[in-house]
Amino acid sequence: FLLLASQRHSPLLSNMGLSVLAYKATAFFIPRVGAAFIRRGFAGKDMNKIEKRVIPETMGAVSALVYFMCMILFIPILFYKYLVPERSRDQQDDQLNVLNDGYASVAKTQFPHDQLGAYLSAVISILSISLLGIFDDLFDIRWRHKFFLPAIAAIPLLVVYYVDYGVTYVSVPTLLRPFLKRTVVDLGFLYYIYMAAVAIFCPNSINIIAGVNGVEAGQSFVIGLVVLCNDLISVFHQSNTEAMRAHLLSIYLVLPLIGVTAGLLEYNWWPSRVFVGDTFCYFAGMVLAVVGILGHFSKTLMLFFIPQIFNFILSVPQLFGFVECPRHRLPRLNVKTGLLENSYTEFTEGIPLPKKTLLTIRVFEALYLIRVDWDQKTKKPIRCTNFTIINFVLYHFGPMREDRLTLCIMGIQLVVGIFGLVIRHGIAPLVYPQ
Ligand code: UD1
Ligand code: MG
């Protein structure tokens, strides 16, 4: 790949080659560093197994490290044609040395500093959030302390967006145009708040669809593939070079993510030999947020995150203290059947529940989002299933083996992704004609 790519001077081919290498390198290093990670305390108990083995955690750090190596190696490849101008590549004459200085100054004036700026801002944002993930794995930071930090990590991206692109308006659908009497609505500064919110949401939302072998890496892998499809469709259908360049940049960032995630998934798949850690969830979530922002498709990205949005809305009562939130909301293993079942939040007998708790569980039960066990005599709730998409799936489809549950979540993610692609490329052009 790399040979072919260098002969053709194709950054895309090189990026594909690097992504395959990234997959291989991740799969090579993970089994070799596991013991060292356990010695340093990066380890976790696999709670949904009978013997509850302790296995290495924070393996997302390996994925992130390999990813950064790729990103850095890719810089000279991406800008090769500016670093080595056409004539000096083809001509092997004596004048070359004399002319080299001249070429350097030509390269300097033509060099797309804006593209390098965008690329480096992506690397800085992803790097800083991966650092937060490592600290979280080390010290278990409370979620209210770490929740807003991704917005700070996104500042370089937002600055680049402002300088390079600066589009803050949204199109008004055809049906609403006669009422609003305009074709676009400018959101101005609010659009930057929205993008910061995307950067906060993506890493955190992946981290709370977790606790089942392979589910964190599995959902990221599927979203990565869907984003790649969206970029490819956009690149082939775009006549606008600006938009094409934005989608190409997104491809360069997402392909290596798919590579390192596949390498990690190999060892994180049921029965897991390693855990991904918060590092991976933050890292992968941030890469996806970054490609959405720099690729100028952050609204389409939210269509791909519908399962995470659903899980977040479902989690609100527990995240905001309306209903007690246990440290772990992952499903529970039934040792007799070997299948995963719902996990519950138990209500202590004799202690009256606040009105807001009672109202919440009644509403969520009526909407078939949770199951509640009621005491037939006192008519008080005994326990309710935890408010997560994983428990929701188990409630509706019944107990299942751990790998099937992960496949189920990945399947939902894929169907939603295809739905998002159809909305964006099939329906949106009809509803928002240019
Ligand atoms: C998030 C979830 C929590 C869930 C946890 C599982 C919220 C608000 N928080 O917390 O409910 O229980 O993720 O990761 O929704 N583990 C397994 N099997 C797996 C993956 C993880 O048993 O396949 C266990 C291991 O003991 C591992 C631990 O989960 O050490 C990791 O939990 P951590 O990532 O620290 O939890 P949070 O992200 O804080
Ligand atoms: Mg976690």
Residue-by-residue pLDDT tens, the chain, 434 positions: 666 666 667 899 999 999 999 999 999 999 999 999 999 999 999 999 999 999 999 999 999 999 999 999 999 999 988 887 665 555 555 555 545 555 566 566 688 999 999 999 999 999 999 999 999 999 988 877 888 889 999 999 999 999 988 889 888 888 888 888 888 889 999 999 999 999 999 999 999 999 999 999 999 999 999 999 999 999 988 778 888 999 999 999 999 999 999 999 999 999 999 999 999 999 999 999 999 999 999 999 999 999 999 999 999 999 999 999 999 999 999 999 999 999 999 998 888 899 999 999 999 999 999 999 999 998 999 999 999 999 999 999 999 999 999 999 999 999 999 999 999 999 988 877 65
Q: Residues with Cβ < 8 Å from 137, sequence gap 6 or more? A: 42, 57, 58, 61, 277, 278, 279
- Tell me the pTM: 0.94
233 C-alpha vs ligand 1 centroid, how far in Å? 36
DSSP type of residue 174:
G
Torsion angle in degrees (nearest 10) through CA of 222, 228, 233, 236: -160
Structure tokens at 126: 């992803």
Q: Establish whether residue 279 lines the binding site of ligand 1, counting it when its CB lies within 6 angstroms of any ligand atom.
A: no
Amino acid 180: pLDDT: 83
Amino acid 82: pLDDT: 84
To 5 degrees, how large is the angle CA 202–CA 203–CA 204?
Answer: 95
Cα 171 versus chain centre, distance: 26
To 5 degrees, how large is the angle CA 424–CA 313–CA 258?
Answer: 50
User: Residue 136 in contact with residue 146, Cβ under 8 Å?
Assistant: yes
Q: Establish whether residue 137 lines the binding site of ligand 1, counting it when its CB lies within 6 angstroms of any ligand atom.
A: no
Distance of alpha carbon 126 from alpha carbon 129, whole angstroms: 5
Distance of alpha carbon 393 from alpha carbon 269, whole angstroms: 19
Torsion angle in degrees (nearest 10) through CA of 376, 382, 386, 391: -40
Q: Establish whether residue 47 lines the binding site of ligand 1, counting it when its CB lies within 6 angstroms of any ligand atom.
A: yes
Residue nearest to atom 15 of ligand 1 (CA): 208
Amino acid 80: pLDDT: 86
Q: Which atom of ligand 1 is nearest to the CA of 268?
A: 23
Distance of alpha carbon 269 from alpha carbon 429, whole angstroms: 39
Structure tokens at 280: 């991976």
Helix boundaries (H) for 269-401: 277-294, 298-304, 306-319, 355-366, 389-397
309 C-alpha vs ligand 1 centroid, how far in Å? 19
Amino acid 31: pLDDT: 98
Residue 31's identity, in one-letter code, is P
